Amino acid sequence: LALLLYPQLLTLQQQQPNIHLNLTAAPNHLILSDIKNEHVDQGIVTDIPNESFFEFEKLGQEELCLVLPKKTNIKQSWKQLLLDSGLISHPDAEHYLSLYFRKCEEPELKQLDIAKIPVVGSINQISQILEPLTRGIGFTVLPKSAIDSFHSPELLQVLKPKQAVKENLYLIRKKNRELPKRCD
């Protein structure tokens, strides 16, 4: 999401040079902690936060995609394909896999134990998670915006599940905290 938003925020900063941007991509729990401790004004998370501490509004949804190298033969069962390919892990991989397997309506994936999927690589830089796949290594699950902003999407293939998997996005801020006008 940061890859998608950052260019738009830079355009806003060009129009309003007195605004200073600090965009950090982080897991939900760190975003919530930073807002609660007033280190940041607002954030975007994928789970509804505790209403006693936070105010939130739903921004929309983002599709999650199961991504493989372009040349992968997808004619075998998805479960066996993933077990054979191995996971390119990242900080949100377990969360995305769990959500994807639960919501995709593919029976064999609902039964797949995530802990049994071999990890063949791990990276925490969003812009590099898909690099191993371009070389025929592994699979991963990422938001569609990460694939759309990747430099070589033609080297990837996205499996189409019976049911598209979408994750809600919420704009959050600390409850009863008046935000500066710049947040408008």
Residue 184 has pLDDT above 80, yes or no: no
Q: Which domain holds residue 25?
A: 2-60+168-183
Q: What is the mean pLDDT of the chain?
A: 91
Q: How far apart are CA 72 and CA 68, in angstroms?
A: 7
Measured at the CA of 133, the angle between CA 107 and CA 113, to 5 degrees, comes to 30
Per residue in 32-48, pLDDT (tens digit) is 999 999 998 899 998 88
Binned at pLDDT 50, 70 and 90, residue 6 comes out as: confident
Number of domains making up the chain: 2
pLDDT digits (tens, 9 = 90+) for 127-183: 899 999 999 999 999 999 899 989 999 999 999 999 999 999 999 999 888 877 777
More confident residue, 76 or 155: 155
Q: Are both 54 and 67 inside the same structural domain?
A: no
- pLDDT at residue 2 above 90? no
pLDDT-based confidence at 24, cuts 50/70/90? confident
Distance, in Å, from the CA atom of 70 to the CA atom of 89, rounded to the nearest integer, reads 18
Instruction: Identify whether residues 83 and 159 lie together within a single domain.
Output: yes
Q: Cα(92)–Cα(73) distance, rounded to whole angstroms?
A: 26
Q: What is the DSSP string of the chain?
A: -HHHHHHHHHHHHHH-TT---------HHHHHHHHHTTSSSEEEESSPPPTTTEEEEEEEEEEEEEEEETT--TTS-HHHHHHHH-EEE-TTHHHHHHHHHHHS--HHHHT--GGGSPEEEE---GGGTTHHHHTT--BEEEEHHHHHTSS-GGGEEEE--SS-EEEEEEEEEETT-PPPGGG-
Do 175 and 111 belong together in one domain? no
Shared-domain flag, residues 68 and 89 = yes
Q: What is the CATH number of the domain that holds 148?
A: 3.40.190.10
Is the pLDDT at 100 greater than 90? The verdict is yes
155 and 71 inside one domain: yes
